[in-house]
């Protein structure tokens, strides 16, 4: 495995992605990690990430300098390189004007990290400081016009520094450089695949859970579905899934999910129909945060009550993914403003006195999809777009009523059918409809109508942190609009949302 030290770079998850794409396992840890912990992880190499700080600031993040004596190869990127240089006796200085963007890299020779890289190649720079003087034993391995020490190496000690970012796509040979580090320098092997991950995690889960019982809250999303499948492969019917139908799901979703898990995958599933409870408590509520709180609270109660019926359960499985883990351990996370309360969920296991099992906690979303495929999850579930926990309640602006839910469900079904027909479903991060709390005048036949408006939202995104509104073809939009207005009673106008995130969010509430 490769250990990545997070100095706060916006790119550190990308470094991890690149390493994993080379089929090498890696983990990201903060610089506060103890030397003993590093040694017990036994990494084949260390990558020190970039970061927003200057090495000469008082508060700049640092890791125990003894890492350079462990005889483990180290690659420092941007701030990581500057930290290495500063620690080992070189000097780093501000460059006056921040260098940001493409630069032409002049490579000294095609060896070491630059094996297979041409003399001249593009690289991506983003820094305000640069190395001025190298520590003893280091030599320059590449330069750009503005940055003489754009890359450096101490070949005997296997220490390397890059001022530019090999992990971003704007450095076309970045992956070659990283591969050279991983395979030639660190001696890693390409053995991290979803097959090996599945095998190892199944063994690990068997060891942890043994003969005891485990429960899992199934939502129908990819994360909880893959977690269920993985745990089921490991401990079979020791796993019970609880699926709470909150009445806020898409058309036919509850039935489909029940069938897939029960009949197709043969997994124990307890279906709890709590629709009335949720809908009754939502009566008269229009504030989005209150909706979320109510839904969250009832979910926990219903789930707990159901879980209590499973006598002797000791474990609770959750589909937590790596980006959430990284965010919560990041040394630079700091307190962020609560935009929507779903970003701060938790508390379920503590109250329930169950031990947590989170087999996906080191995976990224697309790896979870690959794992789902490996485990035989049906395509439909693998490619299901994310769906928020509070469901359609936060897509009905204003009060959630049974009648409004019925309208939105029909609209949503038509929309998804057309998006799929046109081959856009997998290309979009999410596509859905929002029912607005205002009416508009229309004409149908010779009659005046005064009915609901729905907004269509379709976005592309990698991780939901940022998103672009999708440039759907006009004929697709036209088709969706026609079908909705013709087929769904109560709707006489369709509008398309052309805002990106930020400053808008993906959901309207």
Q: Give catalytic residues, as residue numbers.
A: 78, 165, 167
The residue (of 232 and 409) whose beta carbon lies closer to ligand XMP is: 409
Query: Kind of pairing, strands 468-469 and 447-460?
Result: antiparallel
Query: Element (H or E) spanning 46, and its range?
Result: strand 45-48
The residue (of 328 and 486) whose beta carbon lies closer to ligand XMP is: 328
* CA–CA dist 28, 13 (Å, integer): 8
Q: How many CB atoms lie within 10 A of CB 365?
A: 16
Hey, what long-range contacts does 438-442 have (CB within 8 A, 24 or more apart)?
Answer: 440/492, 440/493, 441/492, 442/485, 442/492, 442/493
CB of 292 to ligand XMP, least distance (A): 5
Query: Element (H or E) spanning 77, and its range?
Result: strand 74-77
The residue (of 31 and 391) whose beta carbon lies closer to ligand XMP is: 391
Rg, C-alpha atoms of the chain: 26
CB of 300 to ligand XMP, least distance (A): 14
CB of 221 to ligand XMP, least distance (A): 8
CB of 291 to ligand XMP, least distance (A): 9
DSSP state, residue 377: -
- Contact residues toward ligand XMP (CB under 6 A) are 292, 340, 342, 386, 388-390, 430, 464, 501, 505-507
The residue (of 345 and 444) whose beta carbon lies closer to ligand XMP is: 345
CB of 462 to ligand XMP, least distance (A): 12
Query: Kind of pairing, strands 139-143 and 151-154?
Result: antiparallel
* Nearest alpha carbon to residue 106 among 134, 145, 75, 161: 145
Give the 3-state secondary structure of residue 136: coil
The residue (of 117 and 382) whose beta carbon lies closer to ligand XMP is: 382
CB of 461 to ligand XMP, least distance (A): 8
The residue (of 342 and 439) whose beta carbon lies closer to ligand XMP is: 342
Helices (H), 42-159: 79-87
CB of 248 to ligand XMP, least distance (A): 11
Neighbour-count burial of 392, counting CB atoms closer than 10 A to its CB (0-12 exposed, 13-18 middle, 19+ buried)? buried
Helices (H), 101-250: 174-179, 194-209, 222-235
CB of 42 to ligand XMP, least distance (A): 36
Crossing angle of helices 474-487 and 402-421, rounded to 10°: 140
Q: How many CB atoms lie within 10 A of CB 142?
A: 26
Give Cβ neighbours of residue 256 (< 8 Å, ≥ 6 apart).
none
DSSP code per residue over 446-480: TEEEEEEEEEEEEEE-SSSSSBEE----HHHHHHH
CB 35 within 8 A of CB 64: yes
The residue (of 333 and 386) whose beta carbon lies closer to ligand XMP is: 386
Strand-pairing partners, residue 154, are 159
The residue (of 31 and 388) whose beta carbon lies closer to ligand XMP is: 388
Sign of CA dihedral 142, 127, 505, 322: positive
CB of 384 to ligand XMP, least distance (A): 12
What per-residue string of b and e applies to 72-90 under the rule 16 or more CB within 10 Å gives b?
bbbbbbbbbbbbbbbbbeb
The residue (of 288 and 378) whose beta carbon lies closer to ligand XMP is: 288
Residue nearest to ligand XMP (CB): 342
* CA–CA dist 113, 178 (Å, integer): 7
């Amino acid at each position: 495995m490769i250990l990545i030290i997070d100095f706060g770079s916006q790119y550190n998850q990308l470094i991890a992605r690149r390493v994993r794409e080379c089929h090498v396992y890696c983990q990201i840890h903060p610089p506060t990690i103890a030397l003993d912990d590093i040694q017990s992880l036994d990494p084949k190499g260390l990558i020190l990430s970039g970061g927003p700080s200057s090495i000469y600031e008082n508060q700049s993040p640092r890791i125990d300098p003894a890492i350079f004596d462990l005889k483990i190869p180290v690659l420092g990127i941007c701030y990581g390189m500057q930290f290495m240089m500063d620690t080992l006796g070189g000097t780093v200085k501000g460059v006056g004007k921040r260098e940001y963007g493409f630069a032409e890299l002049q490579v000294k020779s095609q060896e070491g990290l630059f094996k297979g890289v041409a003399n001249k190649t593009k690289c991506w720079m983003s820094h305000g400081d640069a190395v001025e003087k190298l520590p003893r034993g280091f030599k320059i391995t590449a330069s750009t016009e503005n940055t003489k020490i754009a890359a450096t190496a101490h070949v005997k000690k296997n220490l390397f520094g890059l001022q530019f970012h090999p992990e971003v796509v704007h450095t076309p040979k970045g992956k070659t450089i990283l591969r050279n580090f991983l395979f030639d320098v660190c001696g890693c092997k390409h053995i991290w695949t979803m097959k090996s991950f599945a095998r190892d995690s199944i063994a690990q889960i068997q060891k942890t859970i043994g003969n005891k019982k485990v429960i899992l809250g199934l939502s129908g999303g990819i994360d909880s579905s893959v977690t269920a499948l993985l745990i089921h492969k490991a401990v079979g019917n020791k796993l019970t899934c609880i699926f709470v139908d909150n009445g806020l799901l898409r058309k036919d979703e509850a039935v489909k999910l029940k069938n897939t898990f029960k009949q197709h995958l043969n997994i124990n599933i307890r279906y709890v129909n709590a629709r009335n409870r949720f809908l009754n408590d939502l009566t008269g509520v229009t504030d989005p945060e209150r909706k979320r709180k109510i839904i969250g609270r009832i979910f926990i109660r219903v789930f707990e009550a159901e879980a209590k019926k499973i006598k002797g359960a000791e474990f609770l499985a959750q589909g937590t993914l790596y980006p959430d883990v990284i965010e919560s351990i990041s040394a630079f996370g700091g307190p962020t403003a609560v935009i929507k309360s779903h970003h701060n969920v938790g508390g379920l296991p503590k109250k329930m006195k169950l031990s947590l099992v989170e087999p996906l906690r080191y995976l990224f979303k697309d790896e979870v999809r690959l794992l789902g495929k490996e485990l035989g999850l049906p395509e439909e579930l693998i490619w299901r777009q994310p769906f928020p926990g509070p469901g359609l309640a936060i897509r009905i602006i204003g009060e959630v009523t049974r009648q409004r839910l019925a309208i939105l469900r029909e609209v949503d079904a038509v929309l998804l059918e057309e998006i799929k027909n046109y081959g856009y479903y997998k290309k979009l991060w999410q596509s859905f409809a929002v029912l607005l709390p205002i009416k508009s005048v229309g004409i149908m036949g010779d009659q005046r109508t005064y009915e609901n408006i729905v907004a269509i939202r379709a976005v592309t995104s990698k991780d939901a942190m940022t998103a672009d509104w999708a440039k759907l073809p006009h004929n697709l939009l036209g088709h969706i609009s026609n079908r909705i207005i013709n087929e769904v009673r109560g709707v006489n106008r369709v509008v398309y949302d052309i805002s990106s995130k930020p400053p808008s969010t993906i959901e309207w509430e």
